[in-house]
Amino acid sequence: MTGIALVRSELTKSVTSRPALILALVAILGTWVMAWTNAASAVGIAPDDPRLFAAEPIPLEYQGFEMAGFGYVLVVALAALSAGSEYGAGQQIRVTLLATPQRPRVFFVKVLLLATTVAGVGFLTMAGTVVITHAAGSTGVDPLELTPAIWANIGGVALAWTFTALIAFALGSLARSAILPLILITPLVVGVGDFVTGFWDGARYLPIAAGAALYSDPAAGLLAPLAGGLVQAAWALVLLVIAGIVFNRRDP
């Protein structure tokens, strides 16, 4: 009874938060629009066309996934906000814990809802993006019958976004602010991780680069998909456990 009540309550908090709704909608719809303009203008171009910067064609099962970056940033913001909004000027955390003093339960439900939301947003964003990419460009892939490899990559994005969101949430919860995860995670998401991977092999184990292995062309030089997923999951798990313990013990 109280578990369901808590889920309903946290769900209401999410859907009545205008920034969270806007971030989720812009992640989905914004990426779709960008995929449409990108695909309509470039996907059908021959790989040796001088208008392309790279002569190497992107394998079909990875086409459209370069669009993931935009939504990724918004999902990090959504997760950071989910943790930080409890500690803003209104100090909502006081009322949250007065209503449910069983802190591990509060933490668990928040994590569960964020993971479900981000997985859903990630799946919708990328499924729509890939369908649009193949529908708008002459790629040879039927947009209504995507291959298993493409579906696996869509699932990979949803998973990577979810793990990253949980990492951002854990950092936000530890710092009691949305600022820390935005400062730490956003640069990694927008390409600093890829840049570092270029000259330091160990960077493949950084959380975002590890997660990118779940949906990236192996030619990118990242970890194997399964290994990457496990490494990113481990990052998320460790940080969540630390954040959960601190949340349970600390005076808010």
Q: How far is the CB of 19 from another protein (least distance, A)?
A: 7
Considering the complex, state which of residue 111 and residue 233 has its C-beta at the smaller distance from another protein: 111
N-terminal to C-terminal alpha carbon distance within the chain: 26
Q: How far is the CB of 218 from another protein (least distance, A)?
A: 44
Considering the complex, state which of residue 69 and residue 252 has its C-beta at the smaller distance from another protein: 252
| Whether the Cβ atoms of residue 63 and residue 16 lie closer than 8 Å to each other | no
Catalog residues that contact another protein under the rule CB under 8 A. Answer: 1-2, 5-6, 8-10, 12-13, 16-19, 85, 88-102, 249, 251-252
Q: How far is the CB of 77 from another protein (least distance, A)?
A: 15
Q: For residue 182, give both structure tokens.
A: 């935005």
Q: For residue 118, give both structure tokens.
A: 């981000």
Considering the complex, state which of residue 101 and residue 148 has its C-beta at the smaller distance from another protein: 101
Dihedral, 75, 24, 78, 69 alpha carbons, nearest 10: 20
Q: How far is the CB of 23 from another protein (least distance, A)?
A: 13
Considering the complex, state which of residue 116 and residue 250 has its C-beta at the smaller distance from another protein: 250
| Angle at the Cα of 73 from the Cα atoms of 67 and 77, rounded to 5 degrees | 150
- Calpha distance 116→114 (Å, rounded): 5
